[in-house]
Amino acid sequence: MRAWHVTAPGPVTGRPLRLHADDQTPRPGPGELLLRVLACGVCRTDLHVTEGDLEPHRPGVTPGHEVVGEVAALGEGAGAAPGAGAAPPFKVGDRAGAAWLRSTDTTCQYCLRGAENLCPASTYTGWDADGGYAEYMTVPAAYAHRLPGGYSNEELAPLLCAGIIGYRALQRAELPAGGRLGIYGFGGSAHLAAQVALARGATVHVLTRGERARRLALELGAASAGDAADLPPEPLDAAILFAPVGDLVLPALRALDRGGTLSVAGIHLSDIPPLSYEQHLFQERQLRSVTANTRADAREFLGFAAGHKLAVTVHPYPLDAADQALRDLKAGAFDGAAVLVS
């Protein structure tokens, strides 16, 4: 099979990734599914893995963790293992999704209290194990997702990371019913979270640099779209920071109403400047981080997507052009999400 490998982590303008044309098709281990990859989203985290910003966990790893596949084979016992969230077992020919969270120990204090996203023994698709920049990959059946109907394979792929993380960030922001939400930065994850909030009746204010992104925000139903450092037209009950820019924590906290919460969605954030307790935190405003996601988050979000058709902007690339897709992502050459198709 064809598969990309991170052979020399470094800038994507060099050649950190190599395409191998005749890899062995992987064999599913006990409890695993073999997926024939139908579509794989290109996430910013893949760029971090490829460029070495995330320390390599597996030499020559195949990136890709927004994987829509067809079950091609079952490992021993996988036919009896329930899917994520005790969904019915998968069988050959089913459509299945593989996301960033690949496994946890299920036994630590965090897993036991429903916070498996914090499990110190967790492993990740396309970082600890080979991911979806390939024709085939394996995924533990218990961490594979049932996918909603009404979407193409290309549209489903970005839901599996951008969508799920945006959803968790929205949950962490504890937006009250009918509340006022501020969204800072408006890329793939943000535009999906905005649609969830709007469908729930929120008033959404988008604060972002790009002119095209502001236009998209208004088209999707945002009440206002301004520059990232602007104050929104009204105080916010909650805000989500999607841009990886620590400087924006200050205006976002300042924009919160009493008791409001700012949730920071990124895996990376540049340093936050000093805060003023009075201006940024007093009146019980809160600042929260978001770390990966649980399978329950994924199940809730994919269930929501089944009932509400989300608009997903997709830019398809052939599998052979994965390196170009990553270069374009880094250069900000497109809105929405790049997706590799076999």
Residue 161 or 314 having the CB closest to Zn ion: 161
The C-alpha atoms of residue 280 and residue 266 are separated, in whole angstroms, by 20
Residue 75 or 131 having the CB closest to Zn ion: 131
Residue 264: CB minimum distance to Zn ion, A: 16
The C-alpha atoms of residue 141 and residue 43 are separated, in whole angstroms, by 22
Map 41-76 to HEC letters: EECHHHHHHHHCCCCCCCCCCCCCCCEEEEEEEECC
The contacts of residue 203 (CB under 8 Å, 6+ apart) are: 178, 179, 180, 181, 223, 234
- State whether residue 134 is helix, strand or coil: strand
Tokens encoding 31: 């409890």
Residue 211: CB minimum distance to Zn ion, A: 26
CA distances from 306 to 78, 146, 196, 340 (A): 25, 11, 12, 23
Residue 72 or 108 having the CB closest to Zn ion: 108
Radius of gyration, CA atoms only, the chain: 20
Please choose, from the candidates 110, 49, 85, 124, the residue with its C-alpha nearest in 3D space to the C-alpha of residue 292.
Answer: 124
Residue 42 or 287 having the CB closest to Zn ion: 42
Residue 43 or 338 having the CB closest to Zn ion: 43
- State whether residue 84 is helix, strand or coil: coil
DSSP 123: E
Residue 111: CB minimum distance to Zn ion, A: 3
Contacts with Zn ion, residue ranges (CB under 5 A):
43, 45, 104-105, 108, 111, 119, 161
Please choose, from the candidates 251, 279, 268, the residue with its C-alpha nearest in 3D space to the C-alpha of residue 183.
Answer: 251
Residue 71: CB minimum distance to Zn ion, A: 22
- State whether residue 86 is helix, strand or coil: coil
Residue 117 or 342 having the CB closest to Zn ion: 117
Residue 44: CB minimum distance to Zn ion, A: 7
- Asked if residue 194 lies in contact with residue 180, where contact means CB atoms within 8 angstroms, the answer is no
Cα angle 101-132-296, degrees, rounded to a multiple of 5:
25
The C-alpha atoms of residue 24 and residue 3 are separated, in whole angstroms, by 10
Residue 231: CB minimum distance to Zn ion, A: 31
Residue 45 or 263 having the CB closest to Zn ion: 45
Residue 160 or 175 having the CB closest to Zn ion: 160
Question: Do the strands 203-207 and 180-184 form a parallel or antiparallel pair, or are they unpaired?
Answer: parallel
Residue 104 or 203 having the CB closest to Zn ion: 104
